[in-house]
Amino acid sequence: MAAATVLSFVHRFLPVVLLDDLRRDIQISDLEFSSLQTSFAITYAVTTITSGWMADRSNRRNLLVVGVAAWTLGSFVFGLATSLSGLFAGRILVGAGEAVLVPAGTSLMCSYVSAERRGKAFAITYFGATLGTSLAFSGGGFLLEAARDASFSGLPLVGALGPWRQVMLLLGSAGMLLIPALLAFREPSRTRTSGPIGFAGFIQLWQLRSLLWIALLMGASIAIADFAYTSWQTALLTREHGMGVAAAGNSLGITILVAGSIGAWVGGIATDRALRLRGKRGRPEIIVACALLMGLAPLTIQLPFAWAAIVAFALWQLAANVAYVANAVTLQDIVDDQTRGLATALQVCLGIGVGLGAGPAAIAVLNTQLGGDALGTSLSLGICALAIGTAALGLALGSKLPMVAKSS
């Protein structure tokens, strides 16, 4: 699952690295390229719900195989496209294929791993997301330079293609290695013999709404804050601290990889330990502690030093990744094998849809209201407000969960 997550994030962000070469080759504008990313996001969001529903009532392993095959084919279509419509077809296939991974993969993983060990399991897959994002930018850039130097000109099939196409096809083909690995696993039995029929999965989730809506809103609040902070961090370093774009990008890339990885692993250990010590309410309490730490981190932005902003971002990455893991495991404590896929799909849609849509925009609106020249203050105020909201939701959810740990 970690390997699949790495490759899915590589495929997700690789076109951004290849943008300049792609634009010169196919003659598309920045607006047209952004529409490709929008098509991916819309397809991903819509297909995630369908995939979650299917994961609760079909063979999850086979569903994952179909998803990997779809996003691999999408990368091939994208890499061989000669027009904007071809690029759209490729990104839609990638979005549809990747939408299968989180709902079906999470449900499958929870069937293999007991509740007492899920924190570490989720930590490993979250590390895959961090590593995949880093590899897309660093590895993709390295391979593109190598392709420009004709390093792959002797390879069959891809050697005669342009550099960006070579990179897309070479990294795209890596997905094929996942298919035999997935087929080596058996589909584990569920708690009951069959998944929910028709709309029964939605009905079961509705019956859990008093717990579920708090968990989902808590995840969305973390995502809004994280997308807001991360999206504006480069601008903060360049505008208010005078750093160059390359220096800021390298600093943030290293910070995300190191602090994010540490945070995910700490989150896995902490959430498993919290279940043993405090029962199911211990995991939301982890989120409350992280939210308070996330609320303090942006205050360091006010210091007139670039290093202080980077230290604050590192602290943020660590706390946010602990909170992501804790929130993901908390949701699985609420649902069962019959509704894990659908519940996870709802969590993903809210996290990406609301988080990416509202987070960066909220800081921009706040900054405009403050005069357009106070990005550091806008970030601090916005993030602190979201952190307080996340902590309140965590306390509300924890109060409703039992103190006694129970495996599920």
Query: Residue 64 has what pLDDT?
Result: 94
Q: Which amino acid is at 62?
A: N
Looking at the domain that runs over 200-400, which CATH code has it been given?
Answer: 1.20.1250.20
Query: Residue 66 has what pLDDT?
Result: 94
- pLDDT of residue 69 exceeding 50, the answer is yes
Please enumerate in sequence order all residues whose Cβ is within 8 A of that of 289, keeping only pairs 6 or more positions apart, or say none: none
- Distances in whole angstroms, Cα of residue 319 to Cα of each of 90, 330, 335, 356: 35, 16, 25, 19
The residue ranges of every structural domain in the chain are 2-183, 200-400
- pLDDT of residue 392 exceeding 60, the answer is yes
Q: Over the range 188-219, which residues count as b (16 or more CB within 10 Å of their CB) and which as e?
A: eebeeeebbeeeebeebbeeeeebbebbbbbb
Question: Do the domains at 2-183 and 200-400 have one common CATH topology?
Answer: yes
Burial of 146 (0-12, 13-18, 19+ CB in 10 A): middle
Residues 337 and 201: their CA atoms lie apart, in Å, by 11
For residue 353, report the phi and psi dihedrals to the nearest 5 degrees. -65, -55
Please enumerate in sequence order all residues whose Cβ is within 8 A of that of 255, keeping only pairs 6 or more positions apart, or say none: 310, 313, 314, 317
Contact by Cβ (8 Å): 54, 197: no
Residues 213 and 219: their CA atoms lie apart, in Å, by 10
- Distances in whole angstroms, Cα of residue 186 to Cα of each of 30, 32, 60, 98, 108: 45, 43, 10, 21, 10
pLDDT, one tens digit per residue, over 5-18 is 999 888 888 887 78
Q: Which amino acid is at 223?
A: A
- pLDDT of residue 193 exceeding 50, the answer is no
pTM, 2 dp: 0.78
Q: Which amino acid is at 80?
A: L
Confidence of residue 34 (pLDDT cuts 50, 70, 90): confident
Apex CA 217: angle with CA 215 and CA 223, to 5°? 105
Output 244 or 192, whichever has higher pLDDT: 244
pLDDT, one tens digit per residue, over 73-93 is 999 999 999 899 999 999 999
Q: What is the DSSP letter of 351?
A: I
Q: Two tokens at 369?
A: 């209201």
Query: Residue 242 has what pLDDT?
Result: 82
Burial of 408 (0-12, 13-18, 19+ CB in 10 A): middle
Query: Residue 143's closest CA among 174, 120, 170?
Result: 170
Burial of 29 (0-12, 13-18, 19+ CB in 10 A): exposed
- Distances in whole angstroms, Cα of residue 329 to Cα of each of 271, 280, 345: 8, 10, 14
Quick one: CATH architecture of 2-183? Up-down Bundle (1.20)
Q: What is the mean pLDDT of the chain?
A: 84
Query: Residue 198 has what pLDDT?
Result: 57
pLDDT, one tens digit per residue, over 127-152 is 888 888 778 877 888 888 888 888 88
Contact by Cβ (8 Å): 345, 67: no
Output 244 or 332, whichever has higher pLDDT: 332
Q: Can you tell me which residue has the tokens 């039995």?
A: 189
Residues 332 and 353: their CA atoms lie apart, in Å, by 21
| Distance in Å from the first CA to the final CA of the chain | 20
Confidence of residue 330 (pLDDT cuts 50, 70, 90): very high
> What integer is the mean pLDDT of 314-338?
89
- Distances in whole angstroms, Cα of residue 361 to Cα of each of 226, 290, 357: 12, 23, 7
- pLDDT of residue 196 exceeding 60, the answer is no
Apex CA 43: angle with CA 37 and CA 48, to 5°? 125
Q: Two tokens at 249?
A: 């990008």
- pLDDT of residue 239 exceeding 60, the answer is yes
* DSSP notation for 216-257: HHHHHHHHHHHHHHHHHHHHHHHHHH---HHHHHHHHHHHHH
Element at 358 (helix H, strand E): helix 355-369
